[in-house]
Amino acid sequence: MNTVEPGIIAGIIMASVFLNLITMAYTAHRYIDTVESHLSNCQFVNDYKRLYAGDDLRSKVQRLWMAALVLSTPGLLIRRKLVDPQDLKNFPAELKVRILAAWMIGMLAMTASVIFYFWTIPGVS
C-alpha cells in the first residue's frame, strides 16, 4: 500500500500559506488605495480604514482582507446597509478576481493546516 509522507503534505500546505501571504502583501501594498477608492461610499470599508489608518504593511493587509470580505459577502452587507451596491457593481472585475482568489486560497490553506494538524495526532482517526 502506498502511503504519503506527512512531511510532504505539511510542506505543501506551508508553501501555499507562505506564497499566499506574499501575494496578499504585494496586492495590499500595490492596490489598497485603488480598492478603497472604488469602495469609497461603503461605511464598512471607511470604518475599517479609520480603525487601521496606518501606512504600514500590516494595516494595508488587514484592510485588504476586509475588502475581500466585502467582495465575498455583498448580500449580507447590503441588507445591513453597510456597503453601497453601486460601488460593488462598479468594482473592477480583474481586481476583484485577484483579491478573492488570494483570499480563498488563504482560507483553504488555513483549513487544510487545521485538518492536517488533527490528522497527524496519534490515536485520533
pLDDT tens-digit series, residues 67-118: 999 999 989 988 988 888 999 999 999 999 999 999 899 899 989 989 988 8
41 lies in some domain: yes
Count CA atoms closer than 13 A to 31's CA, side-chain side: 20
CA angle, 111 then 65 then 57, to 5°: 115
pTM: 0.80
- Domain total of the chain: 1
124 lies in some domain: no
**Among 72, 49, 73, which Cα is nearest to 60's?**
49
101 lies in some domain: yes
Structural domain boundaries, residue 52? 10-115
123 lies in some domain: no
Angle between helices 6-38 and 57-72 (to 10 degrees): 80
Mean pLDDT of 28-35: 94
